[in-house]
Structure 1
Amino acid sequence: MYCPRCDACATVTPHPEIPADKKAADYGSLDVHRLRCTGCGFFKDRKVDSAVVGSPVDPYFQRPVWLQTSCCGHVLRAYNVRHLDLLEAYVGARLRERGELVPWAPMSLVERLPTWLKVVKNRTEILRTIRRLRSALPAGG
Structure 2
Amino acid sequence: MEIVSSQGEIIASSFTNESGQYVVPELPLDTYTTFVSTDNYLDQQRAVTLESNQFISERFVVTFITKLGSITSQVINTETKQPTQGATVTVLNDQKLVVVGFTDAKGNFTINELHPGIYTIPVTADGFTLETHR
TM-score range (shorter-chain normalised) is: under 0.3
Q: Which has the larger radius of gyration?
A: 2
Greater strand proportion: 2
* TM-score, length-scaled by structure 2: 0.26
Greater helix proportion: 1
* TM-score, length-scaled by structure 1: 0.25
Greater relative contact order (Cα < 8 A, sep 6+): 1
